[in-house]
Each structure stands twice: as structure tokens, then as C-alpha cells.
Amino acid sequence: MTETRTNAAYARLVARFDRIGALDEASAMLNWDAAAMMPPGGAASRGDQLAVLAGLSHELLTAPEVAADLAAAAEADGRDPWQRANLLLMRHAHTRAISLPGDLVEAATRANSACEKSWREARRAADYGQVLSRFTEVVKLAREEAQALGGALGLSPYDALMDGYQRGIRAADVAPIFAAYEHFLADALPRAEALAAEHPAARMPAGPFPIPAQEAFCRRMAERIGLGFDHARLDRSEHPFCGGTASDVRITTRYDVADGLKALFAVLHETGHALYERGLPSAFARQPVGSAAGMAVHESQSLIVEMQACRSDAFLGWLGPELAGAFGPDPAYEPGNLARLCRRVGRGFIRVDADELTYPAHVILRFRLESALIEGTLQPADLPGAWNEGMKRLLGIVPPDDAAGCLQDIHWYDGAFGYFPSYSLGAMAAAQLMAAARRDVAGLEDALAEGELAPLISWLAGNVHAKASLYGFNALLQEATGTPLDPAAFQAHLAQRYLA
């Protein structure tokens, strides 16, 4: 086969994935709008719109000529590493797509959209029964997808779903890491609680905190750490998230007039995601290799900003006076109190409000339950009871109702199974990356003490953002830090922050 023909095949693939990427971007914007702007009456139409876009994307990816072009392009020699990686990821995406019938893709998209809207009402009412029938359909379709994907990829059903969020990571990799963390937590949590009890309780700022003032402050902080609003928006939603596209990033948060810190740290978290998206290489926009390296990597970028940098003593020392300037003087903004306030340890029901020591317990619970749901050893009707039992085992507490239990997260009700492990893998990776940045970047702590994240973001831009999907999760960490994932870095960080 001539070089001209193989290059032409690759060029056709690039053009096709550019179109697929554009469709996926349109879906991302519609999903953002559904969460942030859309009136309730638009839900049915939005489900149809997303289903059609998903179907069109699926048709483009599964067209017969794609397999021929993949085979032809693979015979070319001399491609650069980015092109080779792009071709590998194209083949992987094609393998996943052809294993799923188009009608199943559309049916799952519609079911997920309908269930997600029903979940909103069920959570408000703290009544799992309101969403059970729709959720049962979501789980049924997710199992069908998982079976089909697993057969094509040679993976278990749950591993096949995990592969869609962080390629190359399996349940067998995650389970021992989580078991070791559960053992660590059983000793560390009571010790951290005892140490915290030796100090005065953290004082809450007096408030109230008007939402417009919070919004202005959150926007200023996002800009301070590097997010340009010529390519971004900050809006409100029921669940904070980062969406949109690399050139039009949409971050959201929710505000509480009694607590001015919740929204702030949610925005700092989502800004970490946004900076990663903005830092992806534009030369490979809409190509598989130009996308983020997976959700565990994405979480590492949000958590290194929020938890590692912005909750550090250095940054909090700078942040206190900024908060006082925005909301009025308050002894709560004194450095020691602010540190205790932003790093409180406690056994709580809500994942998004959890401290970084107990947060992995929430993820471990979800990992175990969602894998059981997909494998069929747990039925949707039994989820609330299983949730409560698992929470009691991990943290010794039982939720008072479904809203504080199995209804608190959107993910499952929107069909996102296999995602949750990425949160804690990302936290572990963030600790490892921060340790490497402290080693490599002179004056990093001094910069944080001045409210400057530019040196850290610059290091991440070169070592993570610009690499996109050129490497897998462990290979990326190897390149950036010198070793693949090492959970010991996270435990060392927690010990230094909470047990010293």
C-alpha cells in the first residue's frame, strides 16, 4: 500500500473525528444548558435532542469505511508519537462504538435524560421511590451496554464502563488501593478527630453572604488563578460542574447565603478542571489524542488546585484578608481559624461536603455499589439499604433519609457508572503531582503565600495539560513525577496535614 493512500486514510479519519468532536461539543453545551439555564418544561425535547446527536455521532464512528481507513492508516510507517497515539485512540473508540447498537445508544440517552430530571424531584422530596422505575430502566440499559462493551474489549462489564472514563484502569487495580485506604482511615480518622478536639472549634464567618457578592468574589478568584473569561463562563446549577468545550468552558457552582466558602471552593475546584481544558493542545482539538487523559487525570487537576494549593497554609494566609475585604472584617478569617475551618475533619453524609480525609470513603462506597449494580449482584430496589449499610461500615453513620443517602449524586441517575473511582484516584495523583511540583518549582510556597498559582499552573501546563492523551494515566504520572501512581504520596500528605 502506498504512503499516499495510507496518509489519505489517516486524513479522512482526522476529518471524521473532527465532525464527531463537533457533535460531542454540541451535546456538551446542551447538557450545560439543561443543568444551568433550561426551564423544566424543556426536559423532554432536550432528551430527544441529545439522543439524536448521540445517534449521529455513533453513525459517524461506526460507518463501514471507518474500519477500512483504520486498517489502511495502520500500515503507514514514520508517524510521529502524537499521530500514533491518535490512531490508537481512534481504533479504541471505534471498537467501543461498533459493540453498541445505535438504538441502544439512543435508548440509553433518552432514559438517562428522563431519569436525571426525575432524580431532581426525588431528591427534593427525599423519596427514592419517585425515581426507582426510571432508574431501574437506566440500570437495565447500562448493563446491556456494559455486556456489549465488555465482550468487544475483553473486559468484565464493569471494567468496560470504567474504561470509558479512565482507559487502562481496572476494578482489580482499584480494589486493593481502596481496601488499603479503608484500613488507613480506620486508624487515621479517630486520631485526626482526637487531635482536632485539642484545638478550639473553628469559628464560622458571621455572614450573611449576599449571592451577588459571592459570585463576584468567586469570579475574581477564578481569574486570579488563571481562568480567562473570554473563553469561560461562571453560572449556577444544582450540582457544581465544569462543562462546555476547550474554547468555551462553562463552570457552575451553587451558593448558600449562610456560608461564603462552599461556593468559593467549588469554583476553585471547577477552575482546576477548566484550566486543564483550556491547556489542551489546540493543534489536536477534537481529536482523541487532544482530549483530556481521562477523568482520574481531570480530577487530579481540580484537586491539586482546590485541595493541595488553595487549602494550604500558605494560600489561606493570603486568602483571609481577601475574604475580609470582600465580605467585611471577621475574626474567622484569622489564618489559624481559617485553616481549621477549611480543613475540618468530620463524618458526614454528603460526598461533596466531605473533607479530604473522609472523602475517599464516600468513593469507596459508590465503587462497591455501582460495580454490584452493573454485575447484577445488587438490584436497584435494594440500593437504599445497601447504601446505608455501607456508610455505617465505612464511617459509622447512617443517613437520615434518601436525600442524604443514595439520592445525593447525579451520576448514576444520568447513566454514569464507572466514574466514581476517578475521584479518589485523582486525589492520590494530585498529591503525587504536588510533591513533584514542590520538588521542581523553586519558590512555589512563596508564590502561594502571595495568592499566586501561576508557577504551579505553568508546571502543570507543561507536564499534564499539554500532554493531553498522549499517555495513559500511569504513564503520564511516570513522565511527570518519575513513578506511576503511588498512593503513599496521598497518605503522606494527609498525615502531614491532619495527624502532625
3-state SS track over 260-307: HHHHHHHHHHHHHHHHHHHHCCHHHCCCHHHCCCCHHHHHHHHHHHHH
Q: Which of 137, 270, 277, 299 is catalytic?
A: 270
In the sheet that 242-245 helps form, which strands lie side by side, from edge to edge? 232-236, 248-253, 242-245
User: What is d(CA 228, CA 245) in angstroms, rounded to the nearest whole number?
Assistant: 14
Q: Can you say how many angstroms the Cα of residue 157 is from the centroid of all Cα atoms in its chain?
A: 21
Known catalytic membership, residue 270? yes
User: What is d(CA 113, CA 34) in angstroms, rounded to the nearest whole number?
Assistant: 10
Q: So what's the pLDDT on residue 25?
A: 97
* Backbone φ, ψ for residue 462 (5° rounding): -80, -35
Q: So what's the pLDDT on residue 336?
A: 93
Give the Å distances, CA to CA, from 53 to 25, 49, 60, 417: 10, 6, 11, 21
pLDDT along the chain (500 residues), means of 10: 75 97 96 92 89 92 96 82 96 95 90 93 97 98 97 97 95 97 97 93 94 98 97 92 95 96 96 98 97 97 98 97 97 95 94 94 98 98 98 98 96 96 97 98 98 98 98 97 97 96
User: What is d(CA 93, CA 111) in angstroms, rounded to the nearest whole number?
Assistant: 23
pTM: 0.93
Three-class DSSP category at 470 = coil
Give the Å distances, CA to CA, from 103 to 151, 197, 416, 468: 18, 57, 18, 32
Q: So what's the pLDDT on residue 1?
A: 46
Q: So what's the pLDDT on residue 2?
A: 61
Q: Which three three-digit cell numbers place residue 146? A: 456494559
Q: So what's the pLDDT on residue 5?
A: 67
**454-459 contacts at long range (C-beta below 8 A, 24 or more positions apart):** 454/226, 456/304, 456/305, 456/309, 457/225, 457/226, 457/275
The C-alpha cell 508517524 sits at 79
